[in-house]
Structure 1
Amino acid sequence: MRTSTQRPPAPSNAQGTIKRIMLQGRYETLGMLSNGEQLIVAAVLPMLALIGLVLTDLLSDVADSAVNAATPGVLALCVVSTAFTGQGIATGFDRRYGVLRFLSTTPLGRTGLIYGKVIAVLTVLFLQVVVIGGLAAFMGWRPAPAGIPAAIVLLILGATAFTALGLLVAGTVRPEATLAITNLAWVLLAATGGILFPSTRAPDYLQPFVDLLPSAALGDSLRAALISGTTSVSGILILLAWTIIAGFAATRWFKWN
């Protein structure tokens, strides 16, 4: 009696694509966690910002306590630090040293590269939220429970939007320019872009422009969610619009070398 062995079915193209993206996300995550400079930007600077804002009265009119007022903005700063500054600089120098040119010869493709980086950013952001949230809770932070689901959505949208923006910069200009642009943007957005401080504190002549920035949408919406428990629909829509526009632009104009 003849017996035949059947081979397991080959994975579909969709399964193969998902697997490649997940592997790229794992590679990007390990790279970010093993880079000392990125860890300083991702963890040390936000922690220092949180401690500094809590020990001062710069946000005394925002919430009933300094830590409640400061923590949402510091979480927004974590998003910009990891998704925009960290990813932008890392990708810019990967492009210079030929890493991206090598990836361009694989089935990963531009879209897969972007998705892999988004996965890495979300993973590191989760760790940042745990660390910053734990430190803030130790200092007395009490977020509004009703706003936590909205805050999670905002963090994911913000991470996606700023990752796409970071890749757009890294994929279109020289690494030195990427380094300058992302670091300068980090400082300006943190100070006057609605991240650490409410966008209403921006100068009057900048107010209409600041209100449309993804940084203001993220920072102000997180404050509304975690301080008063309200959901900012306009903030979500602005972040969604930036995610779509920056994602399309990064996919369309990203240069591998």
Structure 2
Amino acid sequence: MSTATTTPTSRRTNGATAAVVRTEATLFARELGSLFWILLFPTLLLAVIGLVPDFQEANPSLGGQRIIDLYVSVVVVLAMIMAAIVAMPPVIAGYRESGVLRRLRTTPMHPAALLGAQVGLHAVAVLASVVLALATARVLYDVALPGHLGWYAVALVLGTASAFSIGAVITAVSASTRVVQTVGTIVFFPMMFTSGVWMPVQTMEGWLRQTVVSTPLGAASEALNDALQGTAPALVDLAVMGGWTVVLGFVAVRLFRWE
């Protein structure tokens, strides 16, 4: 009896969720600005950086790596930042501000499905950006593809999760689209530094490096570079990303408001 009663409801819910995912995918595809910053900008930055002759020379102090080799991991983390901090939070804040999330709570489809669709779509965009960056680095500058694909995938997933957990907190504590954009801008530049955009993490020394690798994106840059070289990332880097994801995810859930 219970199966017959719940199945139609479950089907309606699944149908509504699928419809939301399709709608969000269509809307996301129209956001050409977001697509540019996530998909193309990191690769374009990599291509420009590689034009510096000295960056294509092996550096003994970096274990024989070149600066351009290091920047492959940096631009991958940059794609995460663009998706999780710049692109997604204003969309969700806009839905909250316009009452979309509140109205969805009266339908069979829970607002969490819409949030999940947004995270999923932006994560797919990050993955596409990673593939494009790796292919460009390989073709233009003969950068080796990830030597340990399994560990690279682990570092990529943890790095992406930690970046989105930061974006989730920004969204949770911001009351409006304007506020989320302001907070995102304030957070954006320190995250650019810790990810290694201004200076690759591997070139930092002393307390500066220790501080940077204790942040989720600094650890992500380190772990991705290790896997790119074919070695297992340091467990401490994986733990840093995982720990920040859990803590920030908990904070975001506690502070998030549907309206």
Provide TM-score, normalisation by structure 2: 0.80
The equivalent residue for 2:74 is 73
Match of 1:138 in 2: 139
CA, structure 1 residues 21+59, in 2 after alignment: closer, same or farther (shift >3 Å)? farther
1:1-257 alignment, distance < 5 Å: 10=7, 24-56=20-52, 57=54, 61=59, 62=62, 64-109=65-110, 111-139=112-140, 140-145=142-147, 147-173=148-174, 174-190=176-192, 192-196=193-197, 197-199=199-201, 201=203, 206-257=208-259
**Structure 2 residue identity aligned to 1:187:** F
Alpha-carbon separation, structure 2, partners of 1:41 and 1:167:
19
Change (3 A) 1:201 1:37: same
Preserved CA contact (<8 Å) 2:43 2:129? no
Residue 252 of structure 2: SS of its match in structure 1?
A: helix
Q: CA deviation at 1:172?
A: 1.9
Query: Which deviations, in whole Å up to 9, do the C-alpha atoms of 1:195-244 show, x marking residues without a partner?
Result: 43433555856544422211101111111110243322111111111221
Q: How far has the Cα of 1:111 moved from its partner?
A: 4.5
Q: Work out the CA distance in 1 between the residues paired with 2:219 and 2:15.
A: 33
Shift of the 160–131 alpha-carbon distance from structure 1 to 2, 3 Å rule, reads same
What are the superposed Cα offsets for residues 151-204 of structure 1, whole Å, 9 maximum, x if unpaired? 1112122222222321221232132222122234333322x2034343355585
The CA distance in 2 between the partners of 1:182 and 1:58, in whole Å, is 31
Where structure 1 has 5 or more consecutive residues not aligned to the other structure, the ranges are 1-6
Contact 2:38 2:129 in 1 (8 A): yes
Cα deviations across residues 106-148 of structure 1 (Å, max 9, x unaligned)?
4444644443333222221222122222222221221242x22
8 A contact 1:111–1:251 mirrored in 2: no
- Amino acid in the other structure paired with 1:38: S
Answer yes or no: is the 8 Å Cα contact 1:171–1:253 preserved in 2: yes
Structure 2 unaligned runs (5+)? none
TM-score of the aligned structures, taking structure 1 as reference length: 0.80
Matched positions, count = 248
Q: Is the CA contact 1:198–1:220 (under 8 Å) kept in the aligned structure 2?
A: no
Give the aligned partner of residue 3 of structure 1: none
* Letter matched to residue 232 of structure 1: A
User: What RMSD in Å do the two structures reach over aligned CA positions?
Assistant: 3.0
Residue type of the partner of 2:102? R
The 1:208–1:138 alpha-carbon spacing in structure 2 relative to 1, beyond 3 Å, is closer
Between the aligned residues of both structures, percent identity stands at 19
CA contact (8 A) 2:97 2:177 kept: yes
User: CA separation in 1, counterparts of 2:36 and 2:178?
Assistant: 19
Residue identity in the other structure for 1:10: T
